[in-house]
Chains A and B, each alone.
Chain A
Amino acid sequence: MNSSNGNGSMSTASSSGAWNGRDQFPAGLRVLVVDDDQTCLMVFEKMLKTCLYQVTKCNKAETALSVLREHKNEFDIVISDVHMPDMDGFELLKHINSEMDLPVILISADARKQVVMKGVTYGACDYLIKPVRIETLKNIWQHVVRKKARNTF
């Protein structure tokens, strides 16, 4: 697992989940990205950092899950690949949905309708087809806001 927020450690400044730097939002959005392919992971990390997000990357779903469990309230959104060996994106999504209240975006090179449908029914807030463009990543903050708004009512 690689923490890449520039400080070399997990940031706990926003552990309450409140947006202290509201003016700069969505800069500082705390993203966990999971993909077993290192090429894809490297590209995602660079794109997310270019969006001024705080990025943590994992190449295994199990690692991502322990990170999320150990550092509850320190992430705003999870982006995960679907097809990974051992635990896949769907299983990770199920665990996250049952244990915590985080929006999860699934990504895949697999655009088949039944797979996308599975993602939707399992509760992914979005399903993106690779290759993902940076313009798409610039808009993911809406899922964070939407979930918070739903929880408020």
Chain B
Amino acid sequence: MEVGQMQRRLVDYTKSLFMEGFLDAQFLQLQQLQDESNPDFVVEVVSLFFDDSEKLLNDLTMALDQPNVDFKKVDAHVHQLKGSSSSIGAQRVKNACIAFRSFCEEQNIDATLRCLQQVKQEYYLVKNKLETMLRLEQQIVAAGGSIPMIELGF
């Protein structure tokens, strides 16, 4: 596949992530922060997000698996995940966290377990999408092309 084709494919793919709500304007901010002095900034931040999130999801799973659930602890973890997901623009993960927190306040064990499943699902979806997008970018760069800037009507 030639570079022009790959670039068009990347643009379409990235646009779809915004249209489908996986990413929001905050992700654009990250892309705009990337420059020659920091050409891997987005990859680094996203990787950090993946590491942090997997730890948080594990902690959440364990915390909700206790005989006496400590909802304050659960809430603290969800709050952190909300913060980091919003900082990279992972909109659907952030929204899932918002719902999660309200059920934590109610101390509703069934609902919070459902929320955990929802958050995990959204996380793995966005992880998959971001990895695909970053892989497309790598292929373009490897073929000697440049990453096209996305024009979005925000």
Q: Given A46-B33, A46-B41, A133-B29, are A39 and B88 also a contact pair (CB < 8 Å)?
A: yes
Q: In the complex the two chains form, is B33's CB within 8 Å of A39's CB?
A: no
Number of A-B contacts (CB under 8 A): 57
Complex A-B: 11 CB contacts under 8 Å: A37-B52, A37-B80, A39-B48, A40-B84, A47-B29, A47-B33, A83-B76, A83-B79, A83-B80, A110-B79, A131-B89
Q: Is B7 an interface residue (CB 8 A)?
A: no
Give bound CA distance, A81 to B48, whole Å.
Answer: 18
What is the predominant secondary structure among interface residues of chain B facing chain A? helix
Q: Given A42-B45, A42-B48, A109-B79, are A130 and B86 also a contact pair (CB < 8 Å)?
A: yes
Q: Given A38-B48, A50-B33, A131-B26, are A43 and B87 also a contact pair (CB < 8 Å)?
A: yes
Give bound CA distance, A50 to B41, whole Å.
Answer: 12
Q: In the complex the two chains form, is B80's CB within 8 Å of A43's CB?
A: no
A residues less than 8 Å from B86 (CB atoms): 109, 130-131
A residues less than 8 Å from B38 (CB atoms): 46
Q: Is B21 an interface residue (CB 8 A)?
A: no
Report the nearest B residue to A135, measured CB to CB: B29
Q: Given A38-B52, A39-B52, A46-B33, are A130 and B45 also a contact pair (CB < 8 Å)?
A: no
B residues less than 8 Å from A133 (CB atoms): 26, 29
Q: Is A134 an interface residue (CB 8 A)?
A: yes
Q: Given A109-B79, A109-B82, are A40 and B41 also a contact pair (CB < 8 Å)?
A: no
List residues of chain B with CB under 8 Å of any chain A CB: 26, 29-30, 32-33, 38, 41, 44-45, 48-49, 52, 76, 79-80, 82-84, 86-89
What is the predominant secondary structure among interface residues of chain A facing chain B? mixed
List residues of chain A with CB under 8 Å of any chain B CB: 36-40, 42-43, 46-47, 50, 81, 83, 85, 108-110, 130-131, 133-134
Distance to closest chain B CB from A90 (angstroms): 15
